Amino acid sequence: MQSASTENASVYSSSTRIRVFAGLILTMIMAALDQSIVSTALPTVVSDLGGLAHMSWVVTAFMLTSTIATPLYGKLSDMFGRRPLLGFSIGMFLFASLLCGVAQSMWQLILFRGLQGIGAGGLMTLSQTVIGDMVTPQQRGKYQGLFTGAFAVSSVTGPFLGGVLTSALSWRWVFLVNLPVGLFAFALIMLSLPGGGAEKRPRIDYLGAGLLSVATAGFLLLFNSIGTALSWTSPLTFLLLALSTAVFLLFLWQERRAPEPLVSLGLLRIPDFSVCVAATGIMSFAMMGSMIFLPLYYQLVLGETPATSGLMMLPQVGTMMISSIAGGYVSSRTQKYELLLVLGVGIEFLALAMIAFCARHGAPAFSFLLCLGGLGVGMGIGMPNATVIIQNAVPGNALGIATAMMAFIRSLGGSLGVALSGGVMALALRNNLYALPEKIDVSAFLENGMAAVQALSPAMHEEVREAYKKSISASLNVSSSFMFLAFLLIVGLMVRKKMIVAKG
């Protein structure tokens, strides 16, 4: 498996690698920025275009189409080569960014964000896949570490940049800023990246693509609607779950019989691949489920301002950037990918457990900063090595679909994590508020959050703050438990490999 990858990497000269890598870094930065920069501008967008009731769909439409498109890019790039698919992905993303920048209504913006998601589905996946093509398996840890560092920096600067552009220019520049960056990246990649050979008679699994799209759309709509538009016990919730599951089972049946399956189920027989993909999805579940509620805890329980709560996430990003670059070099020199992954996920679990403990006992802000710094260290060590193990475990001709399957499972895991953690928090909060000695309007607190808390008397404010503290810490306990499950999976993989080596 590795010899094929090494042969592919040998066709790239040093100057070509530098140019392509620069274009891929810009592509990764553009993709990472777009996931965080838009949220800052949404209140201004609503005041300009209207449509407050549909605001969440600006995010949901993007996530829906990008998740559906991810495995399609992986398979098609294996069939037709990386360059044409990466060129299409960047081109579609930039065209849709331009449309978003000139949208005249909320529904236009939602539609254009869906188109933008179609392009975005290939940006990160194909960038990571091209790195897998460009360098030998021994070098992948170093390059994937650099990518993780760029992703971390872009994620934290997104909200700040979105606020600056919205205040100084217009919310439209949140989308238009993609054009110069994307065009430069497009030029670097298209002029430097070899075309690669396409299959002589490629056969596309259209039925599989359709079934996967319907099943993914159903699951994502379900995960993102539970607790808000849909009740946990609503008949519509169970109906949507049953239909999505049935369509997904039909998709698996189709992939077993298709001549050119969209998703290679045979890859799941490779222990390194299947365990790491599952662990990556569970890690995303835990991370997204915890990170989305920490700023809420800072503001409602610790009394921090929104700006300060955003700055309190900086230790995680800073340590993640440093550890991802340093860890990438260490993994390339030592080749101890499984050991480093176990170390990274173990640190992540301990950090999340400490965050949940601090939240439960109302620790001061400084304690959270230390824990977040540790969490960033674990993420920087763990994320690049998971990608390297997955890419090194599969044949060179399956690199695209393997990387896409990882990204697909990671996206689904993150969506489910947000939904489940949010449901746990909402249920615990409802019970805690009903248990208060003085009766209050529970629905108002579940709907308005900060505004409802600020209108209380000092004594009542303290009781409600305690209810929020218990509820958010409950959701953090869920996240740390799932991170421990990911840790056990990876430890099991490492132990199994050591046993095989000992017997051999």
What does the pLDDT read at residue 328? 74
* Cα-Cα end-to-end distance for the chain: 20
User: How far is CA 281 from its chain centroid?
Assistant: 9
Nearest to 195 by CA among 344, 376, 421, 20: 20
Cα(245)–Cα(463) distance, integer angstroms: 42
Neighbouring residues of 4: CB distance < 8 A, sequence distance ≥ 6 = 395, 396, 397
Neighbouring residues of 425: CB distance < 8 A, sequence distance ≥ 6 = 293, 471, 472, 474, 475
Nearest to 188 by CA among 14, 8, 21: 21
CB 218 within 8 A of CB 67: no
Nearest to 174 by CA among 81, 48, 266: 48
Neighbouring residues of 220: CB distance < 8 A, sequence distance ≥ 6 = 60, 63, 64, 67, 412, 415
Tokens of 74: 């992986």
Tokens of 71: 């495995």
What does the pLDDT read at residue 98? 92
User: How far is CA 21 from its chain centroid?
Assistant: 22
Q: In this structure, what DSSP letter does residue 321 have?
A: H
Cα(481)–Cα(98) distance, integer angstroms: 42
Q: Give Cα separations from 484 to 121, 202, 382, 471, 488 (angstroms).
A: 29, 42, 14, 21, 6
Q: What is the pLDDT tens value at each position of the chain, 504 positions in all? A: 444 444 454 455 677 777 888 888 888 788 777 766 776 676 677 667 766 556 667 776 787 788 778 777 877 777 777 788 888 999 999 999 999 888 888 888 888 988 998 888 888 778 877 776 776 666 666 666 666 666 666 666 666 677 677 777 878 888 888 888 889 888 888 887 776 555 555 567 778 878 888 887 787 777 666 655 666 677 888 888 899 899 989 988 888 887 777 777 777 888 888 888 888 888 888 877 676 677 777 777 787 765 676 677 778 777 887 887 787 778 777 778 788 888 988 999 999 999 989 888 888 888 888 988 888 888 888 877 887 888 787 776 677 777 777 877 877 777 677 667 777 777 787 777 777 766 666 555 555 555 556 666 676 777 777 887 888 888 888 888 888 998 998 888 888 877 777 776
**Residue 65 — left, alpha, or beta (φ > 0 → left; ψ -120 to 50 → alpha)?**
alpha
Nearest to 40 by CA among 177, 169, 167, 150: 167
Neighbouring residues of 200: CB distance < 8 A, sequence distance ≥ 6 = none
Cα(275)–Cα(493) distance, integer angstroms: 7
What does the pLDDT read at residue 366? 87
The alpha helices in 301-398, defined as continuous H runs, are 306-311, 314-334, 337-360, 365-393
Instruction: Report the greatest alpha carbon distance in the chain.
Output: 74
CB 118 within 8 A of CB 61: no
What does the pLDDT read at residue 95? 93
What does the pLDDT read at residue 347? 92
Rounded CA Rg of the chain:
23
Tokens of 236: 């519509």
Neighbouring residues of 322: CB distance < 8 A, sequence distance ≥ 6 = 149, 380
What does the pLDDT read at residue 177? 84
Place of tokens 């808390």: 453
Nearest to 68 by CA among 251, 200, 201, 195: 251
What does the pLDDT read at residue 391? 78
Angle between helices 337-360 and 271-291 (to 10 degrees): 20
pTM for the full model?
A: 0.71
Neighbouring residues of 144: CB distance < 8 A, sequence distance ≥ 6 = 128, 131, 328, 383, 384, 385, 387, 388
What does the pLDDT read at residue 401? 75
The full DSSP string for 18-75 is HHHHHHHHHHHHHHHHHHHHHHHHHHHHHHHH--GGGTHHHHHHHHHHHHHHHHHHHH
| Amino acid, single-letter form, for residue 397 | N
Nearest to 368 by CA among 292, 261, 295: 295
Cα(250)–Cα(238) distance, integer angstroms: 18
What does the pLDDT read at residue 248? 87
CB 147 within 8 A of CB 325: no
The full DSSP string for 188-218 is HHHHHS---PPPSS----HHHHHHHHHHHHH
Place of tokens 């498996």: 1
